[in-house]
């Protein structure tokens, strides 16, 4: 087979191997040369656009990881580092449950802020609507107004809203994240009951076993790809700059900022316009609280680093 570079899309990363979609084929690639980056934030992940050199139809090597246009990343306490979950996402669906597990605004807001940080458009999926009481989401609809984030109500149980969800998925890469138990896998299965088969087929063809993975992986879906991420118990904002965190909160960012100090972290400063807006109830307290919590986390990390 003639050796030439081909463009591909990373669908899965396991131990030492990167599975790359080239056209309609999937190639198991080893990493070499410049692509072999150990640095956490730059290590190759699902969604990365890459170039590969094929040795046979199903086996090759990964040559280069191309620059990302967007990325979802989180801060990992162990190793004090940023880790990218999935790259080049056209839209992120953040799945929360109407009930069980109860909504954790802190978790949701950390994911939304991280999406903003990584230049990703986010959409909130309220799942398990079959279990929701009347009016249960009213407050949430005020907090997460449609002008800020798209909202979709679904039930993976009854199928409600799943068609609407599917219409938002076009020919790009669409990622799903959520706390364990919110029904993310059930929703993905509703969207396409055959998603899982792709992986099994590939394992058979290349003779390599199916590895369990803690990373995101992509599945072809219609003209695009769905990215499933492992269910998460925690999710920490990856940024480190206290002066620009506000940019990751579109509702707080849009307050006309006439803070007395510049830069202002909008936490303790007298004459802060954001604090004034919160006190006047022009912004939901819970969103501001999430902002303050992330800010405190960033400061805590910075202090630890100094030690
Ligand atoms: P994941 O951890 O987010 O992938 O969640 P799963 O898809 O494994 O679902 C967790 C539990 O919630 C399972 O018992 C599902 O049957 C249930 N579940 C998922 N979606 C719904 C839903 O829309 N309504 C109801 N009533 N249960 C659901
Ligand atoms: Zn301020």
Its pTM surpasses 0.75: yes
CATH of the domain at 298: 1.10.40.50
Which H or E run contains 140?
helix 138-143
Q: What single-letter DSSP state applies at residue 172? A: S
What tokens were used for 36?
């072999």
Task: Based on the fold, state whether residues 163 and 300 are members of the same structural domain.
Answer: no
Task: Based on the fold, state whether residues 58 and 15 are members of the same structural domain.
Answer: yes
Task: Based on the fold, state whether residues 124 and 204 are members of the same structural domain.
Answer: yes
237 is a domain residue? no
Task: Based on the fold, state whether residues 84 and 165 are members of the same structural domain.
Answer: yes
271 is a domain residue? yes
- DSSP letters along 227-269, please? EE---BS--------TTTGGGG-HHHHTS----SSSS--SSS-
For the beta carbon of residue 250, count every other beta carbon within 10 angstroms: 17
Which of 65, 88, 116 marks a domain boundary?
65
Task: Based on the fold, state whether residues 167 and 44 are members of the same structural domain.
Answer: no
Q: Whose CA is nearest to atom 20 of ligand 1?
A: 183
Q: Whose CA is nearest to atom 10 of ligand 1?
A: 181
Q: Which ligand is nearest to the CA of 229?
A: 1
Q: How far apart are CA 96 and CA 248, in angstroms?
A: 20
Q: What single-letter DSSP state applies at residue 63? A: E
Q: Which domain holds residue 23?
A: 4-65
What tokens were used for 9?
């899309």
pLDDT for position 139: 87
pLDDT for position 262: 86
CA of 193 to the centre of ligand 2 (A): 49
Which residues line the pocket of ligand 1, CB cutoff 6 A? 127-128, 130-131, 155-157, 178, 180-186, 231
Q: How far apart are CA 163 and CA 175, in angstroms?
A: 17
Please state the atom number of ligand 1 nearest to the C-alpha of residue 178. 3
214 is a domain residue? yes
The answer to whether residues 178 and 151 touch, using CB atoms and an 8 Å cutoff, is no
For the beta carbon of residue 70, count every other beta carbon within 10 angstroms: 20
Ranges under pLDDT 50 in the chain: 197-213
CATH of the domain at 19: 2.40.50.140
pLDDT for position 197: 39
Task: Based on the fold, state whether residues 181 and 283 are members of the same structural domain.
Answer: no
Q: Whose CA is nearest to atom 6 of ligand 1?
A: 183
Q: How far apart are CA 161 and CA 26, in angstroms?
A: 32
pLDDT for position 207: 47
pLDDT for position 201: 45
pLDDT for position 203: 47
**Dihedral pair phi/psi, residue 304, rounded to 5°:** -60, -40
Q: What's the number of domains the chain is made of? A: 3
């Amino acid at each position: 087979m003639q050796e030439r570079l081909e463009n591909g899309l990373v669908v899965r990363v396991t131990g030492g191997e990167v599975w790359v979609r080239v056209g309609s084929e999937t190639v198991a690639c080893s990493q070499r040369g410049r692509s072999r980056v150990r640095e956490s934030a730059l290590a190759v992940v699902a969604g990365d656009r890459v170039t590969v050199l094929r040795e046979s139809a199903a086996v090759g090597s990964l040559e280069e990881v191309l620059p990302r246009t967007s990325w979802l990343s989180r801060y990992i306490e162990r190793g004090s580092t940023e880790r990218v979950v999935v790259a080049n996402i056209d839209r992120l669906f953040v799945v929360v449950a109407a009930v069980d597990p109860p909504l954790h605004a802190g978790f949701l807001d950390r994911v939304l802020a991280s999406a903003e940080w990584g230049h990703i458009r986010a959409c909130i999926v309220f799942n398990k609507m079959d279990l929701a009481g009347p009016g249960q989401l009213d407050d949430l609809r005020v907090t997460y107004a449609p002008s800020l984030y798209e909202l979709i109500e679904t039930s993976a149980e009854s199928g409600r809203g799943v068609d609407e969800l599917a219409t938002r998925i076009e020919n790009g890469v669409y990622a799903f994240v959520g706390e364990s138990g919110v029904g993310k896998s059930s929703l993905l299965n509703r969207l396409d009951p055959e998603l899982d088969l792709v992986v099994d087929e590939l394992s058979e063809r290349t003779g390599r076993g199916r590895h369990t993975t803690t990373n995101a992986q992509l599945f072809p879906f219609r003209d695009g790809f769905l990215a499933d991420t492992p269910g998460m118990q925690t999710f920490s904002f990856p940024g480190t700059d206290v002066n620009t965190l506000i940019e990751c909160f579109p509702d707080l960012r849009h307050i006309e900022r006439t803070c007395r100090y510049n830069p202002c972290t909008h936490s303790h400063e007298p004459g802060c316009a954001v604090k004034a807006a919160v006190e006047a109830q022009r912004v939901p307290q819970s969103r501001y609280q999430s902002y303050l919590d992330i800010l405190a986390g960033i400061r805590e990390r910075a202090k630890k680093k100094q030690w």
